[in-house]
Amino acid sequence: GAGVSQSPSNKVTEKGKDVELRCDPISGHTALYWYRQSLGQGLEFLIYFQGNSAPDKSGLPSDRFSAERTGGSVSTLTIQRTQQEDSAVYLCASSLTAVLGRGGEQYFGPGTRLTVT
């Protein structure tokens, strides 16, 4: 079946502009995660959604970052007033459940490469 998809694949924006990144998780997956990977760095956790529960936003680096998940499916990560340090690959992942060892393994999308000029 279809995997996790993300759009756009590449986004170049000017400093100060807002951007929206989209994630379509695997159908039926209840958990959705956003990460970012800066050049030469590992994956940095941003936010986690599980079903209808309040999201875990503890990884968001500033209040310029926000994310929504509509209808328990598609998610949008919004970055307001982008800065050059926001340049990174933003990865979305979903998992069937959030139960460790029981479908909690995450399936990643190909990522969105964001470049802020």
Partner 1 sequence: DQQVKQNSPSLSVQEGRISILNCDYTNSMFDYFLWYKKYPAEGPTFLISISSIKDKNEDGRFTVFLNKSAKHLSLHIVPSQPGDSAVYFCAALAYTGGFKTIFGAGTRLFVKA
> Which listed residue (50, 66, 76, 87) binds partner 1 by CB under 8 A?
50
Of residues 74, 77, 89, the one with CA closest to residue 26: 74
CB of 114 closer than 8 Å to CB of 21: yes
Stretch that binds partner 1, among 14-22, 36-44, 67-75, 78-86 (CB under 8 A): 36-44
Close Cβ partners of 85 (under 8 Å, ≥ 6 residues apart): 116
Stretch that binds partner 1, among 14-22, 66-74, 78-86, 106-114 (CB under 8 A): 106-114
CA atoms within a 13 Å half-sphere pointing along the CA-CB vector of 81:
3
Which residues contact partner 1 (rule: CB under 8 A)?
A: 4, 31, 33, 35, 40-45, 48, 50, 56, 58-59, 91, 93, 98, 100-101, 104-111
